[in-house]
Amino acid sequence: MSNQLSSLTVLMVSDLAKSQSFYRDSLGFNVTDWWAERGGLHGVALKLFQAADPSDVRPNQRPAGGGYAVDVQVYTETWAQLDALYEEFRSKNVIISVEPIIYADGGPWKEFVIEDPDGYHFAFGGTDGNPGN
């Protein structure tokens, strides 16, 4: 029996067709009637549900102490991979909520944040190879 697990993040969206188009055309996800994924179900996987009411769409709020909200954190293995994603999304006019920033702690850690049509924020980030190198 395998110990490998995967998960799907569930997002309530205001317009399912618009969200499916965004994830497919702007973020390069494989979109089906069941999920949106990039890199297979062990990569970034989402389940998009049509909200019954606009109030059901609830992206995370900014933390009380400041900073920015994140609904989904996506890890990359290298900064080259991260930079390529940034350029890909920027070329497709995806809203970049936070430009690439490097934090000395944690590797160092580099990330940027994008926003989807419903205001969900995806932080893409990682270390450049093995932490501490």
pTM of the model: 0.90
pLDDT at site 133: 47
pLDDT band at 97 (very low <50, low <70, confident <90, very high): very high
For residue range 1-41, what is the model confidence (pLDDT) as tens digits?
667 778 889 999 999 999 999 999 999 999 999 899 998 87
Q: What is the pLDDT of residues 44-73, one digit of tens each?
A: 999 999 999 999 999 999 999 888 999 999
Sheet with strand 72-75: strands edge to edge: 72-75, 121-126, 109-115, 95-103
- How far apart, in whole angstroms, are the C-alpha atoms of residue 80 and residue 77? 9
Maximum separation of any 2 CA atoms in the chain, in Å:
48
pLDDT of residue 132: 52
Q: Note the pLDDT tens digit of each residue in 70-88.
A: 999 999 999 999 999 999 9
Residue carrying structure tokens 């944690």: 106
At 36, give phi and psi (nearest 5°): -125, 125
At 131, is the pLDDT very low, low, confident or very high (cuts 50, 70, 90)? low
Taking 80 as the threshold, does the pLDDT of residue 104 lie above it? yes
User: Which amino acid is present at 28?
Assistant: G
Answer for the pair 124, 76: CB distance below 8 angstroms, yes or no.
yes
Q: What is the pLDDT of residue 88?
A: 97
Q: How far apart are CA 115 and CA 95, in angstroms?
A: 5
